[in-house]
Structure 1
C-alpha cells in the first residue's frame, strides 16, 4: 500500500482564536489545501478539469478534534482517498503535530460535479485516473 500524501504546514498567528489555539474552521482549510496539493502532485491540472466542465465538490466534512494546536506548531497533514463504485468518494486527513501527537482527523465525502448539468459524475474514479500521471497518490491503480 502506498504511503498517504503528506504536506507539512506551520500554524500561523492569524489562524488562532482568542484562546490562542487554532480556530476550528482552519482545519477545513488545512484539509482543503492538502487535498488540492495532493491532486496537483498526482499530475491532475485542475484548470483543465474545470475547462472540460467538471469540478471537485465537498458534500460533507467531519472533523474530530483530539489535541489542540497552538501558534508556532508545525503539522503534517496526510491525505488518503477511498473509492467505491458510486458517485462519491472519501478523503481521510490526519493532522499530526511534529511531536507525533494527532491533533485532528478530517473526513470528507466528495464528488466530481458536471458543471453543465449540475449533477455528480457517475464514475469519478475513472475521470481522476485518466487525468493523473501518478494515480497512486489518489488511491487509484494506474
Structure 2
C-alpha cells in the first residue's frame, strides 16, 4: 500500500450545519473516503477485500478541528500510513484549504474476518517495518 496519498474534495451543501460550517461528523467520513481512495490508487477495491472475507474496522479515531470549512470550499485531503503490519493499520490525516490546516486526525484499523476474529492483513496492505 502506498504510504501517502492525497486528493481534492469539494465540500457539498448537505455536509454543512445551520451555521454553514461542515458538520464535525463529516470529517470522519472524509477520513474513510481517504482510506478507500488510497486503496483504489493501489489497484484494489474494498469490495474485493470483503469478498475475500477480510473486513477492516475502525478501532480508534481522533480528529482535531482547527478552522471551519464551508460549502464550496475545496479541501486537500492527505492520508499517510504510519504502520501496516500484522492485523493493524495506523493512518494520519490532514485536511487543508490551500495552505490552511482545517483538521487533522488519526485512525487505527483492525483486520478481522466475518466472525469478528482478528486476522492478518493481506500482504499487499502491509508496509515494511521502519528501521
Q: Is residue 2:26 matched to residue 1:33?
A: no
Q: Gaps spanning 5+ residues in structure 2: where?
A: none
CA separation of 1:40/1:29 partners in 2, compared to 1, >3 Å: closer, same or farther? Answer: same
**Aligned residue number for residue 95 of structure 1:** 95
TM-score normalized by the length of structure 2: 0.87
**Aligned residue number for residue 80 of structure 2:** 80
- The count of corresponding residues between Structure 1 and Structure 2 is 127
TM-score normalized by the length of structure 1: 0.80
User: Quick check: 1:44–1:128 contact (8 Å CA) kept in 2?
Assistant: no
CA separation of 1:93/1:50 partners in 2, compared to 1, >3 Å: closer, same or farther? Answer: same
Which whole-Å deviations, capped at 9, do the CAs of 1:26-83 have from their partners, x for residues lacking one?
Answer: 1011111111010111112322221111111111110000111112111000111122
Q: Is residue 2:78 matched to residue 1:106?
A: no
Please give the root-mean-square deviation of Cα atoms over the aligned residues, in Å. Answer: 1.9
Displacement over 6 Å in runs of 4+: none
After superposition, where does 1:1-142 map in structure 2 within 5 Å?
Answer: 4-83=4-83, 85-98=85-98, 100-115=99-114, 117-121=115-119, 123-124=120-121, 127-129=122-124, 140=127
Q: Gaps spanning 5+ residues in structure 1: where?
A: 133-137
- For the residues of structure 2 that align with 1:7 and 1:90, how far apart are their CA atoms? 19
